[in-house]
Amino acid sequence: MPTITNHYLDAKVLDLGSEGKRGPFLVIQVGLAPVDELARERMFVLRPDGQWVDFNCYASQGRPDSMDEIVFPTMAKVMETFGALTGKPRILDLPVDEAGLKAWVARQKGGDPVQAAHDWASQYKERSRQTRNP
């Protein structure tokens, strides 16, 4: 399994839009952290601050709004972030709540992480709409 990089060609950008509308976007990359002594394959997400983090850190929190900080509202923001990345990937090491992760996995319909991201995106859009139009 390859080590993750900061190169946009190694990442996958998921368009979480629905009903013909684009965005929000989630940037993922599956691989090894550059300095992972255990060589664990993980799905990393790129945060808008340019740091990569294990997706399970967010999924295990049990709160859909916790994932709001890993979403990119536009493709322009995705490209801007990639343009600022240099050197080795910066990995933010956040804790994974094992019980929370098991509960999140159990809630997923069919075990498809992309579908789970789309489900989360609809909740994200609703929260964003309520924030703009209180």
- The C-alpha angle with vertex 49 and arms to 45 and 51, in degrees rounded to 5, equals 45
The tokens describing 130, both together, are 């309520």
pLDDT of residue 92: 93
Residue type, 49: D
What is the pTM assigned to this prediction? 0.81
Closest CA to 44 of 55, 57, 32: 55
What is the residue-level pLDDT of the chain in tens, covering all 134 positions?
789 999 999 999 988 777 778 888 999 999 999 888 788 888 899 999 999 999 888 888 877 777 788 999 999 999 999 999 999 999 998 988 888 888 877 777 666 666 666 666 666 666 666 655 55
> Domain locations in the chain?
8-132
pLDDT of residue 67: 77
